[in-house]
Each structure stands twice: as C-alpha cells, then as structure tokens.
Amino acid sequence: EDGSQLWLRYTPVDKHIAQQRTISLQAKDQTMQLAKQELESYWRGSSISLRLDKKIKKLRDGYQIKGDGTGVEVVAAEPAGLLYAAYHLLRLQETGADIEHLDIEEIPDYDIRILNHWDNLDRTVERGYAGYSLWKWDELPKQLSPRYEQYARANASIGINATVLNNVNASPQILTADYLEKVKALADAFRKYGIKVYLSANFSSPKVLDGLSDSDPLRKEVQAWWVAKVKEIYTHIPDFGGFLVKANSEGQPGPQDYGRTHADGANMLADALKPYGGVVMWRAFVYNPTEEDRAKQAYQEFVPLDGKFRDNVIIQIKNGPIDFQPREPFTPLFGAMEKTPQMVEFQITQEYLGFSNHLVYLAPLFKETLDAETYSQGPNSSVARITDSSLGNHQKTAISAVANIGEDTNWTGHHFAQANWYAFGRLAWNHQLSSEQIAEEWIYQTFTDEPNFVQPVRQLMMDSREAVVDYMMPLGLHHIFAFDHHYGPEPWGDRKGGRPDWMPWYYHNADTVGIGFDRTKSGSDAVSQYHEPLRTLYGDIKSCPENLLLWFHHVPWGHTMKNGRTLWDELCFRYDRGVQDVREFQKTWDRLEQYIDAQRFTEVQSKLKIQAKDAVWWKDACLLYFQAFSNMPIPYELERPIHELETLKKIKLDMKHHN
C-alpha cells in the first residue's frame, strides 16, 4: 500500500454478483458510460437504472437516487450528475451505509468546484511539497501519462469539476500555440470525468508574446489580441472554462501598469470570453508595501469597484486577509461587494502548515471561513451563503483551492494530506457536511472500517488543526515564519532592505509592553472593515475572541486572560499544549499498527516524528525570542526549552521556493 490509490480502493465485484444484477443505461455519452462502467466493476448492491432527464433543471449537475430494496433508480439532469451519483453510491457502499433503501437528492452548493495548480512550465511547483508537477509538458501532447486519467477520476469521485493547470504567477508561454496543443491533450483526457480546464493568464501576454507596444486593456489592439487568443483556445478546447488572473500583485503585471483599474482589466478578458460562456476569476490578493496595514488593502482596492465588473467575472478572495495562515479571521471583503460575485480561495497545499511533513486536517479551517458570519445582510450572511449565491443572484458560483498534488506516488507527500484534497471536494459539493463526517468517510475508504482505528484517527484529525495553531501561532499571532520558504519559525526575522510587510516584526510587534497587531480604531482600524456587531466585538479587547486576540490587539504581557492567566503565561501554555498534542498523536498512531498496512503505518509514523521535533522547535524559538520582551519566566510546570535561541537563529534551510 503506497497510497497511490487514494480513497479509491474499491474491490472489483466477483462475476457471480455481477451476473445477478444489471446496470442499465440508454446513452452513448462517454461520461454516462463511465458512470455505468464504474458501477459494473464495483457495485455489490441490487440492479441500477441510470436515467437522464434534462427537464429537472434544478438538479444542475446533482442527482436523485431512489432504492426500494429491489432496485435503485438514478436520475440526473446532466451526464456528470450520473457520474457523481455513481461515485456517491460507491461511497455509501464503502462506508457501510444501507445501499438498498435510498431516498437522496443532492444538488451541489457551487457550480464551479475548482483546483488551482501552482505548477510552472518547468515542472517545479510553487509551494508544492509532493514532488514535481503532474503535467509532463515536454511529453505532451503526444504522450499521455496514465496519471492524468487517475487524477481526473479522483477529482470526479468527490465532485471537483474544474482545474487551473498553471501557476498564478503565470508564464505567458502557456498561451502560445505549442502549449495550447498540450493543454488540449489534458482537457481531452479530463473531459469524460466532467472536468473543465482553466488557465492562469499573464496580463502582459499581448506584449510579451506578440510584441504589442503594451498590454493596456483599454487599447483596441490589445482587446483584439485577447479576442483572437480566446477564439484560438476555443477552437482547441470547446469547453474551456476561462482565466484565473493574478494582476498587480507581488510583481505581476496588470491593468494598473497603464493607470487602469482591476475592473478594466477583468472586463477586457470577460468580454473576450463571454461569447463562449467562459469566466474570469480575478484575484483580490493585492497589497503593497505602503504605510497601510496589509490586511486592509484588498478591501480598499476592490470595494470601490463593486458594480463595475461584467457578470462573468468572479472575484477570487483568499479566506483570510493576509495569507493562508494557520488561523485568520475571514477576509472582510466577503459581503462587502453586493453586486459582484465572489469566491473563496483556500490553500490545500500546506505552505504555512508544515509542508507535507505535518499532519494537519484542514476541513475545520475551511469550515471556519465558510461558516463565518459576516452580518453583511444581517444575521445568516455567512461567507458560504454569500459565495454560493443564497444571498444575491449571481450567474455562476465557484469555490477554489490551491492543490497539494504532485508527482509523488501518494500524490500529496503525506498520506494524510490526501484527506485535505478530499475534504475540499466534499465541502465544495456540500458546505454543510461536518468535518467529522468527512474525516470518517475518508478514513473508511482510505484505510479501514475497523472502529478501533476509525474513532481515534478521526479524533486525531479533528485535533490536528488546533495543535498546529498552538505550536506555531496561537492567540491570533500570524506570519512569523522564516523568510521565503515559510517552513520554520523566525520571529526575529529581518532582512535589510526587505519589504516590511514580509517581515515577522511587522506582524507580531513584540516590545516590552506587549505583543500583537493593533487593528482597532487606535491602530490600523482594520476592524472597521467588518460589519457590526463584529466591528465592536473584535475591536474591544474584552470581547475579542481569544483565538484572534493578537490579530486585532497589541496586548500587555500582564493582561489577564479569561482563565485568569497572564497573556505571557497563556502564550507559554498554548505553545506547550501544541507540543503535547503532537506527542499524543504519536502515541495514538503507534497503538494502531495492527490495523493497517506496514508501509503507510511507518511512513506516517516517521512524519509524526518530524512534526513532534518541529513543534518543539517552534515553541522554543518563539518563547525564547518573545521572552526577551516579556521578561517573565516560562511557567515552571511546563517543559523547559531544549534549544538555545542563538543556535535556532542560525538554522538555514535549503527550502527555496521555486519562483
């Protein structure tokens, strides 16, 4: 067991069973045929009839399943719906549900459920920790790796229906005729699994690829270039999804290079895509090294543009206002642009969460954002309801996440990182599913249904996100990572001449008085970007949730926390708790050896050792460094540091990210 099968470890049904039941379908469509094939190979229940009824439009690409004990009837309005139903039936079977008596209707919460690959054309993956890119550009379009189809199947099995193939820091080359041939080959391989291909577009492409004097979106020549390019793409790929764009952000080109707005840029691309039904996902991840708090900048830049975007533009917004930290409040831009479709961008790849070394189950993090109340239209205005179009009436809804997939045999580097890919797909389909349920389904299908294994592993997964928050950045601390690679701690980090908003001190502000970022009215006033009652709740040190305290406040070391401890003591306890949690994960895991295969058992065991060491590294580095400001002892009942701060400061990791 090397993890290559992911959660798709179905055993083929024996001939005897197969002869006793039929899977019937009247259709030639290849997606529907695939649904039939999957059931023929693996379904152990009674006969199934699969039917397409285009009239039941409300189902979109969902399905209805009815089973009365003698047979199962599946209806969908689109071919992909039948495929998703087939995988749902197999999921029920593999998780031990009753597969004969069924009365199910499932309609996905989002139209576009999309992975963002940060894959470069040289096959390095930005912030990727599972080896090189899956896409073998040099072999394409002639040679097709078998993994393309396996990848598509895995996605389809959890309802993911779209993928952006290349990095948001996009090479213009992806839009050349040569590369479009290669992209077409991938699109062709994915199509029957219901997956549409999208591309990240470099805003300067007209200038770089065809020598136009500039890429000004208001110039006719530039607009015509995009119209022609889009036409070329659609002749290759008639169901092409559209563009994802990172513009005027971290050095990427964009409309502002020509004094134009994000809306001008997005609309030019949207107009070119419109005749084909394509969409533009325009990222709101923008910030500059100015006097203004980085956390406020996306809101300041985008809110004034509300109502100015074409209806096939969706603003893609990271879950938190800074950058995929272990914990952030939701980005206040959600719910602040009533006339503009918005989508969440999560990060499945663990850039800030221990790469593929740490076991961190991300469903609770995803749900924390989706369930977050924005109060934009009073109560019941969660991020989920804003983005799934329950509030407002948007043409197409979407949800995205940066993939953690690479060439590694087990796809994601850590066996448990597969669960985060799985969880994203399941939540994109139904954001009401609980993290526990998703974890449990995944464990059943990936490992075993043995309750003595399922229960403790589910608990371990559920505890893992709080553990990483505790040993890295408790109480609202953020971005105190080592420069650039973002793996280990570097709260002391400072680069001469470097951008302040990339330096840890910018975020923690530790001094002899206290620690934390004052985002209240007396500070950067980022709290004011939130609707009431959040503005008041976050803005008052007495009511601010403690897990976000240092995000919103600069708090004196001696401040009394809810449990009576001082802030300093509580910080020490949290770091220590994170370390103890990982130690517990190790004990839990070691007890489970008898239930699973040796390979995956030992591989996870070794990763937990790294995680335990890293947790102590984080704790010692942060506490020893902050102690120089607090001047208080680490509470004596806690384990003592085992590192010297000066030694930790010298650690240099060879973990340059590929950019």
Please report how close the Cβ of residue 200 comes to ligand BDP at its closest, in angstroms.
10
Under 8 Å between Cβ of 76 and 62: yes
What is the token pair recorded at 55?
């009239």
Taking the C-alpha atoms of residue 570 and residue 630, their distance in angstroms, rounded to an integer, is 12
Tokens representing 396 are 């197409």
Q: Catalytic residue among 188, 250, 407, 436, which? A: 250
Using CB positions, name the residue nearest to ligand BDP.
323
10 scored as a contact of ligand BDP (CB under 6 A): no
First-to-last alpha carbon distance for the chain, in angstroms, is 34
257, 323, 368, 620: which one is catalytic? 323
Comparison of 162 and 168: residue with beta carbon closer to ligand BDP: 168
Q: Closest by alpha carbon to 604, among 450, 405, 461, 390?
A: 461
Instruction: Please enumerate, as own/partner, the contacts of 606-609 that have beta carbons within 8 Å and a separation of 24 or more.
Output: 607/356, 607/357, 607/358, 607/359, 607/414, 608/359, 608/582
Q: Hey, which residues does 50 pair with through a beta bridge?
A: 25, 74
CA distance 394 to 371: 20
**Least gap, CB of 246 to ligand BDP (angstroms):** 5
Give the shortest CB-352-to-ligand BDP separation in angstroms: 8
Report the residue number, 179 or 285, with the smaller CB distance to ligand BDP. 285
Q: How far is the CB of 657 from ligand BDP (least distance, A)?
A: 6
Site residues for ligand BDP, 313-372, by CB under 6 A, read: 323-324, 351
Residues 493 and 506: their CA atoms lie apart, in Å, by 10
Selected binder of ligand BDP within 152, 158, 168, 439 (CB under 6 A): 168
- Least Å distance between CB 323 and ligand BDP? 5
Q: Contact at 8 Å (CB) between 455 and 570?
A: no
* Distances 553 to 107, 368, 372, 516, 535 between C-alpha atoms, Å: 42, 21, 20, 6, 13
Residue 351 bears catalytic tag: yes
* Residue 515 CB partners (closer than 8 Å, separation 6+): 477, 508, 509, 550, 554, 555, 557, 567, 571, 626, 629, 630
Q: How far apart are CA 425 and CA 346, in angstroms?
A: 12
Distance CA 114, CA 161 (A): 6
Residue 416 CB: number of other CB atoms within 10 A?
27
Q: What is the DSSP letter of 411?
A: S
Cβ-in-10-Å burial (0-12, 13-18, 19+) of 251 comes to: exposed
Q: How far apart are CB 84 and ligand BDP at their closest, in Å?
A: 29
Write the interaction track for ligand BDP spanning residues 432-461; mark x where CB under 6 A is met and - where it is not: ------------------------------
Task: Work out whether 262 is an interface residue with ligand BDP (CB under 6 A).
Answer: no
Taking the least distance from each CB to ligand BDP, the nearer of 148 and 334 is: 334
Sign of the CA dihedral 544, 546, 548, 550? positive
Question: Least separation, in Å, of the C-beta of 413 and ligand BDP?
Answer: 17
Residues 6+ apart with CB under 8 A from 279: 112, 241, 242, 270, 273, 312, 313, 314, 396, 398
* Residue 340: CB minimum distance to ligand BDP, A: 20
User: Does the annotation mark 584 as catalytic?
Assistant: no
Question: Applying CB under 6 A, which of residues 88, 127, 294, 535 lies at the interface with ligand BDP?
Answer: 127
Q: Whose Cβ is closer to ligand BDP: residue 124's or residue 300's?
A: 124
Residue 69, by phi and psi: left (phi above 0), alpha (psi -120 to 50) or beta? left
Contact call for residues 465 and 360 (beta carbons, < 8 A): yes
| CB 168 to ligand BDP: min, Å | 5
- 294 binding ligand BDP? (CB under 6 A): no
Closer by beta carbon to ligand BDP, 126 or else 306: 126
169 binds ligand BDP (CB under 6 A): yes
Q: Residues touching ligand BDP: how many (CB under 6 A)?
A: 10
Q: Of residues 351, 440, 569, 614, which has the active-site annotation?
A: 351
Minimum CB distance to ligand BDP, residue 595 (Å) = 37
Q: Quick one: which of 126, 239, 546, 584 contacts ligand BDP (CB under 6 A)? A: 126
Rounded Cα distance between 214 and 625, Å, is 49
From residue 264 to residue 293, the character string flagging contacts with ligand BDP as x (rule: CB under 6 A) and all else as - is ---------------------x--------
Binding mask 81-100 for ligand BDP (x = CB under 6 A): --------------------
Closest to ligand BDP by CB, 45 vs 320, is 320
State which residue, 167 or 630, has the beta carbon closest to ligand BDP: 167
| Coil, helix or strand at residue 481 | strand
Nearer to ligand BDP, 127 or 184 (CB): 127
With contact defined as beta carbons under 8 Å apart, do 264 and 313 qualify? no
Does position 246 bind ligand BDP by CB under 6 A? yes
Considering the complex, state which of residue 324 and residue 361 has its C-beta at the smaller distance from ligand BDP: 324
Instruction: Give Rg (Cα) of the chain.
Output: 25
* Closer CB to ligand BDP, 250 or 603, in the complex: 250
The reply to whether 323 belongs to the active site is yes
Task: Tell me which residues touch ligand BDP (CB under 6 A).
Answer: 126-127, 168-169, 246, 250, 285, 323-324, 351
Catalytic site positions: 250, 323, 351
